[in-house]
Amino acid sequence: MPVNLPEIDPNLLSPIQGIKLGWAESNIKQPNRKDLLVIEVADGSTVAGVFTQNRFCAAPVTLCKQHLNAVNERKVESIKALVINTGNANAGTGEQGMADAVATCEQLAEIMNIPVESILPFSTGVILEHLPMDKLLAGLPLAVSNLTENNWANAASAIMTTDVAPKAFSTSLNIGNDTVNITGISKGAGMIHPNMATMLGYIATDAAIDQSLLNDITKEIADLSFNCISVDGDTSTNDSFIVLATGKSGANPINSRKDNGFAEIYNALLETAQYLAKAIVRDGEGATKFLTVTVKGAKSVEEAKSIGFSIGKSPLVKTAMFASDPNLGRVLAAIGYASRECSSLSDLNTDELELYFGDVLVAEKGGRAESYVEADGQAIMNESEIDITVQLHRGADNATIWTCDFSYDYVKINAEYRT
């Protein structure tokens, strides 16, 4: 079961004016399962995306980038639809894979009477298998036929693969006298590591946000949310994070960082993205604990993130967490070898740093803290939410990453499931 991930209440997911969602069961991998989602985006919306940096990126990712470029170069007016299938990632599928992604867009373009280049395609699931195009194409009219603003909870279910639970979040804010809504969904449970993880994330708002500004803040928000999580250190071929801004709320448009409401919308989008990113970790394959690792006092954010991930990726730390073992030695060792991946840490003075489990000081001056008694560390480890904090005392930069423990079930799930 996911770690402290509340069930979705469909009534608490706000519809976003200008966004309709429709789903189908098209038997791509399994029968009787929502596996196809179409998102209709109102004319004039701005759309930005961040994609996997895996060199084996999937055909739909390549096509998404081309279509977003076409918008940014004003070759097409705007993005008008997204289409997402699960069960098959259309990755490592060569020329046929690209032809299949194009054919999916072409068919949807015809059904919805919109340009092919205004459609963003996404796939997630098994790698190296060709899409069952007959099933997928047959599902498209079904998905289009039930497009409605009230389908966010169904959409969250429709994009799941090995996820145990759907992931969605809504919030709202005021810009001037107008209320602006934000709703997002995400999926992912394994092969999770930044840049990007095997994850899909979609956030929509009825605020109006300038295209160039939206491009910038989508990247920044991804770096502070989806790029701060790790389940197993693997990075998939298909990861995508998309922000849609329809402008239908009627609130004043946000065209620059100085505009009224910018800080509020930025923070609300970030809150939504962090909730959705953390939800993926909470549903991490086999997870029983949710870990928040905060590194303070670094010389750079890169240093802080390197130490955070060095701890958060260590199988020894993660198995200790699974065992509720307050094993400071493994955490200290992981801090010590972070310099492997961040050369500026090669002069890290381990005598100067402090390590905390929760608010308990467990290590300082290169060893166990004199004040520390194991019962205090054990009490922290017995919780399902564990905070680990490292204070380096060498600079002013901080970072927080989120991860989960490593359990028998992780091995079981990944030894039995064919990605």
In the block, residue with structure tokens 């001037």: 176
Sign of CA dihedral 44, 153, 113, 238: positive
Catalytic residue among 86, 162, 198, 235: 198
Binding piece for its own copies, criterion CB under 8 A, among 65-73, 216-224, 255-263, 366-374:
366-374
Residue length of the chain:
419
Residues 328-367, buried b or exposed e (16+ Cβ, 10 A)?
A: bebbbebbeebbeebeebeebeeeebbbbbbebbbbbeee
Give the separation between CA 310 and CA 319, rounded to whole angstroms.
14
Q: Please identify which residue in 41, 136, 363, 386 interacts with its own copies, judged by CB under 8 A.
A: 363
Query: Closer to its own copies at the Cβ: 120 or 345?
Result: 345
CB of 365 to its own copies, least distance (A): 6
Question: Structure tokens of 333?
Answer: 């060792």
Query: Closer to its own copies at the Cβ: 20 or 193?
Result: 193
Q: Please identify which residue in 15, 49, 97, 247 interacts with its own copies, judged by CB under 8 A.
A: 97
62 belongs to the binding site for its own copies (CB under 8 A): no
Element (H, E) at 339: none
Q: Please identify which residue in 99, 128, 142, 270 interacts with its own copies, judged by CB under 8 A.
A: 128
393 belongs to the binding site for its own copies (CB under 8 A): no
Report the site for its own copies in 226-245 (rule: CB under 8 A): 232-237
Which residues contact residue 1 at a Cβ distance below 8 angstroms, ignoring those fewer than 6 apart? 164
Report the site for its own copies in 98-127 (rule: CB under 8 A): 126-127
Element (H, E) at 124: strand 119-126
Question: Pattern 308-337, binding to its own copies, x per CB under 8 A?
Answer: -----xxxx--xx-xx-x-xxxx-xxxxxx
375 belongs to the binding site for its own copies (CB under 8 A): no
Question: Structure tokens of 229?
Answer: 């999580």
Give the separation between CA 287 and CA 1, rounded to whole angstroms.
8
Query: In terms of Cα–Cα distance, which of 160, 178, 262, 177 is closest to 220?
Result: 262
CB of 332 to its own copies, least distance (A): 5
Question: Three-state DSSP class for 318?
Answer: helix
Neighbours of 31 (CB within 10 A): 9
300 belongs to the binding site for its own copies (CB under 8 A): no
Q: Please identify which residue in 146, 339, 398, 400 interacts with its own copies, judged by CB under 8 A.
A: 339
CB of 302 to its own copies, least distance (A): 13
Give the separation between CA 25 and CA 364, rounded to whole angstroms.
56
Are 121 and 242 in contact by the 8 Å Cβ rule? The answer is no
Question: Pattern 185-224, binding to its own copies, x per CB under 8 A?
Answer: -----xx-x-x-----------------------------
Question: Structure tokens of 136?
Answer: 């997928």
In the block, residue with structure tokens 């055909």: 59
Query: Closer to its own copies at the Cβ: 234 or 259?
Result: 234
Question: Structure tokens of 410?
Answer: 């992780």
End-to-end CA, the chain: 20
Q: Please identify which residue in 366, 382, 383, 385 interacts with its own copies, judged by CB under 8 A.
A: 366
Asked if 198 is an active-site residue, the reply is yes
Residues classed as catalytic: 198
The residues that touch its own copies, with contacts defined as CB under 8 A, are 53-57, 91-94, 97, 126-128, 190-191, 193, 195, 232-237, 313-316, 319-320, 322-323, 325, 327-330, 332-341, 345-346, 348, 350-351, 363, 365-368, 406-408, 410-412, 414-416, 418-419
